[in-house]
Structure 1
Amino acid sequence: MSQKVALVTGAAKRTGRVIAEHLGAQGYAVAVHAHRSIGDASEVARGIEARGGRAFVVAANLSNADEAEGLVGKVFAEYGGLDLLVNNAAVFWQEHFPDFTIEQLDEAWAVNCRAPIILTRAFYRLAKEASSTGAVINIVDQKVKQNFHRDHFSYTVGKTAIGNLTEMLAISADPVLRVNAIFPGLMLPSDDQTQADFEYASKAGNLLGRVAGPQDIADAVLLLASPAYNGTDFVVDSGQNLIPVAKDVLYLHKAPLG
């Protein structure tokens, strides 16, 4: 396998799409994962191919352990191997403790933490069998780095778990896989945030007066995919993490009226 291969979960939209397109532009053959957004994922794959790259769409519901387990095998079957797994997919909604439902907690745990672990294990087993090596990058959240607040409780439970496993996974997967993590902040309008509110929060919610956006995250993925990094937690958020908050910047910073 001469061309490097990447699997990006949640690659149909938003940051995952930018990561997939960037890796395609850098010469990776890209497995574009989606669950429900297959049409958008197909558009991403066609775009990579139109620019001279290779890509295919791979579908899986990551809240289903069996489907998550089989995802890496589909990539090996299509491309003959895998070099880079980017665990980007996540579920996200607003709720607080104690008013979450068991269904919300279970889904957020399954997608945001359990699926990355299952995918990493499947990657490890198939790579070891093929006498190959690779890299895993988990996309987490800057709030896990000592900047907690009450918002998005179930989402945060899953992200906190996977965000605190970088070193353990790196040690456990050695010497087959290197495992690193990226901790982004606000990148794109989310929840009910208006464009005006996003632009205001982009300036007010961090030290640099600009968000570290999807392209910055894609650049960080490419950096951490190189052989020099293992067990690294990389905060890419324009200094958002350095400003303690009592609630998410989505709700904290609103554009002035008028």
Structure 2
Amino acid sequence: MFFPDAYEQPAPQNSAVLVTGAAKRLGRAIAADLAEAGWRVVIHYNGSKVAAGRLKNDIEAAGGRAEVVQADLSIPDESSKLIERAENLCGPIGVLVNNASVFEWDDLPSATSETFEQHMGVHVKSPLLLCQHFADRLPEQAGGTILNVIDSRVLSPSPRHLTYTLSKSGLWNLTQILAEEFAPRIRVNAIGPGPILPEAGRTEEHFRDRCSQLPLQRPASLAEVCETIRFLLAQKAITGQMIALDGGEHLTGYRPRPSS
């Protein structure tokens, strides 16, 4: 689909991957690409049932294998049961992609306990529970891989998007902690996307303007993100790392142009 031969490594036979938040946007691209690479994909969604079903149909029409599972990952009990439910659909899960995300704007004056709990619940508590159960249920003698989708802004935090950035920073720390805890059996890595798609409620013009301010003056494409994920799944000597795909924004931070 997108990639040079160096990344065209087939998925292990009968291996399944669970992608959370897979019905739309980046999660959809990740799930579709891994299905094309030969993985049996479990598409997790919360409220996007129609979009998840459409993705399943698209994958199967292209010759891939996919299942769909619903869970509200802000509820700890649903996070705790998701790995088992996914395995009931497709057998042992060999790769967990923690992609599910919420993105609500706040700053220090406007942050509340509700926005804090909302972001921390989906970005830290749920991945922690999912990783625990993934490791516990991994077949004996089998190896596994966890891939966390973070955000490059954790490398250059600013007061904007306060509780979102705090929670994504927590997921980055969790990535490093679990990489050590689970080694050598399970590798844990991350990607840190920058601007890839326009934010909800933002215009294409705003997106283009933001991308023009990046050091590389261009964003990463969905294809490049998927290529990087395949790279991290294939490279057995890498753990505890995050690759920022942000056009260099982590070097300078995001600084909106002053209003004219």
TM-score (normalizing by structure 1): 0.91
- CA deviation after TM superposition for structure 1 residue 253, in Å: 4.7
Paired position in structure 2 for 1:143: 153
1:213 aligns with 2:224: no
Which of the numbers 235, 242, 250 marks the counterpart of 1:241? 250
- CA deviation after TM superposition for structure 1 residue 161, in Å: 0.5
Q: Per the alignment, in what secondary structure is the counterpart of residue 55 of structure 2?
A: helix
Q: Per the alignment, in what secondary structure is the counterpart of residue 108 of structure 1?
A: helix
Contact 1:18 1:218 in 2 (8 A): yes
1:125 aligns with 2:128: no
Q: Which moved more, 1:108-117 or 1:96-105?
A: 96-105
Taking a change above 3 Å as real, the CA distance of residues 200 and 5 of structure 1, as seen in their structure-2 partners, is same
Q: Per the alignment, in what secondary structure is the counterpart of residue 6 of structure 1?
A: strand
Paired with 1:215 and 1:115, the residues of 2 have a C-alpha distance of: 27
- CA deviation after TM superposition for structure 1 residue 4, in Å: 2.2
Contact 1:167 1:231 in 2 (8 A): yes
Q: Per the alignment, in what secondary structure is the counterpart of residue 93 of structure 2?
A: coil
Contact 1:182 1:234 in 2 (8 A): yes
Q: What is the identity, as a one-letter code, of the residue corresponding to 2:185? A: V
Q: Per the alignment, in what secondary structure is the counterpart of residue 201 of structure 2?
A: coil
In structure 1, runs of 5+ residues without a counterpart are: none
Contact 2:190 2:241 in 1 (8 A): yes
- CA deviation after TM superposition for structure 1 residue 52, in Å: 0.2
Contact 2:153 2:253 in 1 (8 A): no
Q: Which moved more, 1:1-10 or 1:170-179?
A: 1-10
Q: What is the identity, as a one-letter code, of the residue corresponding to 1:117? A: L
Q: Per the alignment, in what secondary structure is the counterpart of residue 225 of structure 1?
A: helix
Deviations 1:154-203 (A, max 9, x none): 21111011112222111111233110011111111104321112122222
Q: Which moved more, 1:10-19 or 1:150-159?
A: 150-159
- Root-mean-square deviation (CA, aligned residues, Å) is 1.8
Contact 2:97 2:148 in 1 (8 A): yes
Contact 1:124 1:176 in 2 (8 A): no
Moved segments of 4+, more than 2 Å: 1-4
Q: Per the alignment, in what secondary structure is the counterpart of residue 31 of structure 2?
A: helix
Deviations 1:29-48 (A, max 9, x none): 10001000011011111111
1:23 aligns with 2:41: no
- CA deviation after TM superposition for structure 1 residue 215, in Å: 2.2
In structure 2, runs of 5+ residues without a counterpart are: 1-11
Contact 1:197 1:253 in 2 (8 A): no
Q: Which moved more, 1:166-175 or 1:47-56?
A: 166-175
